[in-house]
C-alpha cells in the first residue's frame, strides 16, 4: 500500500515509516507565535520549567492582530513578547511585516516536507508549499518551545481533485468556499485535505495559499498541495540553494475520502451568516445591502487579490454608503500594490487603506460592525460577533465579488460589473 503526501512528510521527519492513525512525537522545523496567543504560550513554557527555547532560529514571532496596539493590555502583551524575544535571541518581526501566515511563507520559514506549527488556527496555510502545517493551542506551543517536538496523531487524508479552468472573475476563493460548503464545517475533522488536479496545478502560489488557509473551516488538521515547479520557484526565491525533490501521494495511497470538483462550472460563491459552510451562489444573495466591505486578510490580502479588485473597480468609485477597508497582507504585498498604483486607485475611489495587519478579520482592533450592520469580507470566518457586534452580519466572498459589491452598495455578481 502506498503512502499519502502527509504520511510521507511524517515518515521523512520521524525517520521511520508512519501511517495515518499512528501517534508520533515529531520534530518541528518551525514554530510561530503572535501577539494574541504568544503571551500565554510563553507563560506555559515557563511553567514547564523552560529557560531556553529549543532553537531560537526556528521560532518566529510577530504582531498582527492588534497593531498598532489598540489598548494598554495589547501594548503590555507586545512589550512582554519583545522582552522574551530579546532574552531568547528570537527573530521578532514585530509589527513591521504584516499578517503572520503571509510573512512566514514569504520569509521562507516553511518549505516542502517540513512540519510547522503556529499558535493560530490558519497556520494550515503553509501547506501551500507542501509543508504539514497546523495550528495548536498555547499549552502545546509552550511544550514545543521547550522541546522542539510535539505529539501528533497522523491524520487521514481527504483528496480534493479539481478539474477544468476557472471562468472570468471566478477563482480560488470561490472554489474553497464551494468545497467547504460541500464537505461541511466538521466534515474533515482531524483529517488533512490534499488539493490537486489540473486546476490546482495551474494555480499560482497565492491561490494555493487561499485554498490551504481555509482547510480549517472544514475542521481539517491541515491543508496541503504537493510541491511542483511552481512551488520550488517560490521556495528557492526565499531559500537560495534549496534542492527540489519529489513529494507526492503514491497512486495507490489510501485516502479516507476522495472528491472531485469542476472549476469550469463554478460561479462566484458567498458564505452567508453565521457559518462558513453556509455557502450559496452569489445570485442567491445578490441585492443584499452592505455597510462595509473588507478586502484583505491572510486569505485574500495578496497583490493578486488587490489587483483583481482593482480590475473590477476600473475607473469607478465605491458607493458612498459603504465603508471600504483595504489591507494588504504584508509589507511586501503593500509595496507591490503601491508600486503598481493600486493603493492610489483604491484611495481615490473612496477606500481606507490600512497598514498590513489582521484588521477587521477577528474584530479585535478596528473596523467593527454595529448591531444590524452587514459586512462583505474576503477573510475566512463569518461567525456571529466575528467582526464586532453579535447582531452584525458577515458574508464571505472573493476580492472580485467584494469590489463589485462595494461599487454597487449591495452584494453583486462581479461578472455583471
pLDDT in tens, 310-369: 999 999 999 999 999 999 999 999 999 999 999 999 999 999 999 998 788 887 778 889
- In tens, the pLDDT along 227-272 reads 999 999 999 999 998 999 999 999 999 999 999 999 999 999 999 9
Architecture of domain 268-412: 2-Layer Sandwich (3.30)
Confidence (pLDDT) at 45 = 95
175, 199 in Cβ contact below 8 A?
Answer: yes
Q: In 2-85, which ranges are E strands?
A: 23-27, 30-34, 59-62
What's the Cα-to-Cα distance from 159 to each of 4, 13, 133, 207, rounded to whole Å?
10, 22, 17, 17
Confidence (pLDDT) at 164 = 96
Provide the b/e sequence for 11-47 (b: ≥16 CB within 10 Å): bbbbeeebebeeebebbbbbbbbbbbbbbbbbebbee
Query: Three-state SS across 261-313?
Result: EEHHHCCCEEECCCCCCCEEEHHHHCCCECCEEEEEHHHHCCHHHHHHHHHHH
Residue found by looking up cell 522545523 in the block = 29
Confidence (pLDDT) at 329 = 96
Confidence (pLDDT) at 366 = 83
For 250, which DSSP code?
-
What is the C-alpha to C-alpha distance for residues 372 and 409, in angstroms, rounded to an integer? 16
Confidence (pLDDT) at 1 = 81
What is the C-alpha to C-alpha distance for residues 294 and 297, in angstroms, rounded to an integer? 9
Confidence (pLDDT) at 236 = 96
Q: For the chain, what's the residue count?
A: 417
What is the C-alpha to C-alpha distance for residues 82 and 63, in angstroms, rounded to an integer? 10
Domain spanning 5-243+250-262, CATH class = alpha beta
Instruction: In the chain, list all ranges with CATH 3.30.499.10.
Output: 5-243+250-262, 268-412
- In tens, the pLDDT along 179-232 reads 999 999 999 999 999 999 999 999 999 999 999 999 999 999 999 999 999 999
Confidence (pLDDT) at 365 = 75
Span 44-52, mean pLDDT? 94
Residue found by looking up cell 449591495 in the block = 410
Report the share of the chain in percent with pLDDT over 90: 90
C-alpha grid cell for residue 272? 452567508
pTM for the model = 0.92
Span 377-394, mean pLDDT? 87
Element (H, E) at 233: helix 229-236
Structure confidence at residue 380 as a pLDDT band (50, 70, 90): confident
Of the candidates 301, 308, 327, the residue with the CA atom closest to the CA atom of residue 268: 308
For the cut 80, the answer to whether the pLDDT of residue 42 exceeds it is: yes
For the cut 90, the answer to whether the pLDDT of residue 417 exceeds it is: no
Amino acid at each position: 500500500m502506498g503512502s499519502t503526501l502527509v504520511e510521507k512528510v511524517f515518515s521523512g521527519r520521524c525517520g521511520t515509516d508512519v501511517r495515518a492513525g499512528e501517534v508520533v512525537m515529531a520534530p518541528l522545523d518551525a514554530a510561530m507565535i503572535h501577539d494574541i496567543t504568544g503571551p500565554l504560550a510563553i507563560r506555559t513554557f515557563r511553567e514547564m520549567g523552560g529557560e531556553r527555547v529549543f532553537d531560537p532560529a526556528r521560532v518566529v514571532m510577530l504582531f498582527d492582530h492588534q497593531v498598532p496596539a489598540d489598548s494598554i493590555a495589547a501594548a503590555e502583551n507586545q512589550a512582554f513578547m519583545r522582552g522574551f524575544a530579546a532574552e531568547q535571541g528570537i527573530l521578532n518581526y514585530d509589527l513591521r511585516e504584516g499578517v503572520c501566515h503571509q510573512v512566514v511563507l514569504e520569509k521562507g520559514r516553511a518549505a516542502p516536507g517540513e512540519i510547522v506549527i503556529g499558535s493560530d488556527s490558519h497556520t494550515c496555510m503553509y501547506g501551500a508549499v507542501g509543508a504539514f502545517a497546523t495550528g495548536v493551542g498555547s499549552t502545546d506551543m509552550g511544550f514545543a518551545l521547550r522541546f522542539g517536538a510535539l505529539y501528533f496523531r497522523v491524520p487521514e487524508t481527504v483528496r480534493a481533485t479539481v478539474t477544468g479552468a476557472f471562468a472570468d472573475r471566478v477563482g480560488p476563493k470561490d472554489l474553497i468556499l464551494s468545497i467547504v460548503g460541500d464537505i461541511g464545517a466538521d466534515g474533515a475533522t482531524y483529517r488533512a485535505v490534499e488539493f490537486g488536479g489540473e486546476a490546482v496545478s495551474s494555480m499560482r502560489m497565492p491561490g494555493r495559499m487561499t485554498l490551504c488557509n481555509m482547510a480549517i473551516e472544514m475542521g481539517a488538521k491541515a491543508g496541503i498541495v504537493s510541491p511542483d515547479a511552481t512551488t520550488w520557484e517560490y521556495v528557492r526565491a526565499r531559500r537560495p540553494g534549496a534542492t527540489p525533490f519529489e513529494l507526492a501521494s503514491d497512486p495507490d495511497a489510501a485516502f479516507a475520502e476522495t472528491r472531485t470538483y469542476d472549476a469550469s462550472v463554478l460561479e462566484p460563491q458567498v458564505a452567508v451568516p453565521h457559518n462558513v459552510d453556509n455557502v450559496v451562489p452569489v445570485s442567491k444573495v445578490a441585492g443584499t445591502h452592505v455597510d462595509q466591505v473588507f478586502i484583505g486578510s491572510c486569505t485574500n490580502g495578496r497583490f493578486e487579490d488587490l489587483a483583481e479588485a482593482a480590475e473590477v473597480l476600473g475607473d469607478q468609485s465605491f458607493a458612498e454608503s459603504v465603508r471600504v477597508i483595504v489591507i494588504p497582507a504584508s509589507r511586501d504585498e503593500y509595496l507591490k500594490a503601491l508600486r503598481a498604483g493600486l493603493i492610489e486607485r483604491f484611495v481615490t475611489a473612496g477606500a481606507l487603506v490600512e497598514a498590513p495587519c489582521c484588521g477587521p478579520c477577528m474584530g479585535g482592533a478596528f473596523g467593527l460592525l454595529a448591531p444590524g450592520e452587514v459586512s462583505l469580507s474576503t477573510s475566512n470566518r463569518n461567525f456571529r460577533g466575528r467582526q464586532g457586534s453579535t447582531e452584525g452580519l458577515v458574508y464571505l466572498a472573493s476580492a472580485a465579488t467584494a469590489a463589485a459589491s462595494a461599487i454597487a452598495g449591495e452584494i453583486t455578481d462581479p461578472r455583471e460589473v
